[in-house]
Structure 1
Amino acid sequence: MMKGLLEAVLHENSLVLSQVSPLETDDLVKKIHEAKRIFVYGEGRSGLMGKAFAMRLMHCGYEVYVIGETITPSMGNGDFLIAISASGSSTSLAGHFSTANEKEASTFIVTASKENQLSTDGKLVIPAATKHRRQGEPQTIQPLGSQFDQSVHLLLDAIVIALLEGRDQNTELRKRHANVE
């Protein structure tokens, strides 16, 4: 039984990720390379995926902060806000994007929503099922937004690999890995 469930989850995520636009992923990689500092935002499980991504970006040598943490500084010109939101429409997300625009920081959203209404400098659509189960979302055996969360995590880890291209991944990342765990 468990083997069949695992195979189904892997198959579902593979189908979702096969539909992601290479142009959108390349755009995110380029914008991360160009950013002065990176700010990551997400709520709930999307926020947890964002924290995992922020940690990997730090391991890669980027100056990165998670919005909502006590040590997060103010945003400014040349900074880059990456938000992860299945719906792409929360009130707090709109407020953070407004602040980023005010401070001349660029914005990017990783979302399941193709019809996202927020004005951003970039968007990466992951066409996965969300907790809302809107028309057009893929069928899934997974509860709530699990398919989106898992697909986000896998895709952002692949983006980290792209950011590390040509570098000694393990040696370089281990230098910045926590040593006071």
Structure 2
Amino acid sequence: MKNIIETVVHEISTVLSNVDEGESLALADEIRNAKRIFISGEGRSGLMGKAIAMRLMHGGFHVYVTGETITPSIEKGDLLILISGSGSTSSSLQLGNAAKKAEAKVFLVTTNRDSKIAEISDGIVVVPAATKHRRPEEPGTIQPLGNQFDQSVHLLLDAIIISLTRSKDQQSTYEEMTNRHANLE
């Protein structure tokens, strides 16, 4: 078991070390400057999106997950973050087009810089991980399906949120985030 864990950790570390820092900083800037943030992804990418939405909420950002009953209309000044390993998920492409029509910004987190969604996006972060498609340019992995992509996305977006919520007074930030944590558990 220990060997498997070490291999997975090494895989994720390698993927994250190959993410372009400029792309990550550009996403951080878009999040910082957005009036509201909307996050979407299908399947496990959607689960990663929900986890990141919760962390953004804890950080004091106005954030919504698409498809929820309380999600409002997207508008100019808003940001839609799409998570799609392939960059061609049809429902994500539809949402991206709708957001562009509403004059919101679209940012894609993907493995595929040349995807259909990338073409309509204002920004992109390429996470050079393996997906369920196992394209020739994807790295090797011992993990099934898109595990390597999902885990890498989670850690990368968490790191971006940590960078956004850092302040000189870490105790204050921690207390504010703790106060925003759900109390109806």
Shorter chain as denominator, the TM-score bin is over 0.9
Instruction: Give the TM-score of the pair, scaled to structure 2.
Output: 0.95
Tell me what 1:122 maps to: 123
Determine if the alignment matches structure 1 residue 170 to structure 2 residue 155. no
Supply the AA of the counterpart residue of 2:153: V
CA distance in 2, matches of 1:46, 1:90: 11
Equivalent residues of 2:93, 2:116 under 8 A apart: no
Tell me the residue number matched to 1:157. 158
CA displacement, residues 64-106 of structure 1 (integer Å, 9 cap, x when unaligned): 0000111101111111000100001011111101110111100
Task: State the alpha-carbon separation in 2 of the partners of residues 12 and 174 from structure 1.
Answer: 32
| Residue in structure 2 matched with residue 133 of structure 1 by the alignment | 134
What SS is found at the alignment partner of 2:38? strand
Alpha-carbon distance in structure 2 between the residues aligned to 1:54 and 1:109: 15
Match of 2:147 in 1: 146
Unpaired runs of 5+ residues, structure 1, are none
Moved over 4 A (4+): none
The two structures, once aligned, show a CA RMSD in angstroms of 0.8
Structure 2: where are the runs of 5+ without partners?
A: none
Instruction: Check if 1:87 corresponds to 2:86.
Output: yes
- In the superposition, the TM-score normalised over structure 1's length comes to 0.97
Distance 2:36 2:129 in 1: 29
3-state secondary structure, aligned to 2:116 = coil
* C-alpha distance in 2 between matches for 1:106 and 1:171: 31
Distance 1:110 1:143 in 2: 20
Percent identity reads 57
The yes-or-no answer on 1:98 pairing with 2:97 is yes
Using the alignment, how far apart are the partners of 1:10 and 1:94 within structure 2?
Answer: 31
Q: Which residue of 1 aligns with 2:110?
A: 111
Q: Distance in 2 between matches of 1:6 and 1:89?
A: 31
Taking the aligned partners of 1:114 and 1:91, their CA distance within structure 2 comes to 16
CA distance in 2, matches of 1:94, 1:42: 10
Query: Which residue identity does 2:161 align to in structure 1?
Result: V
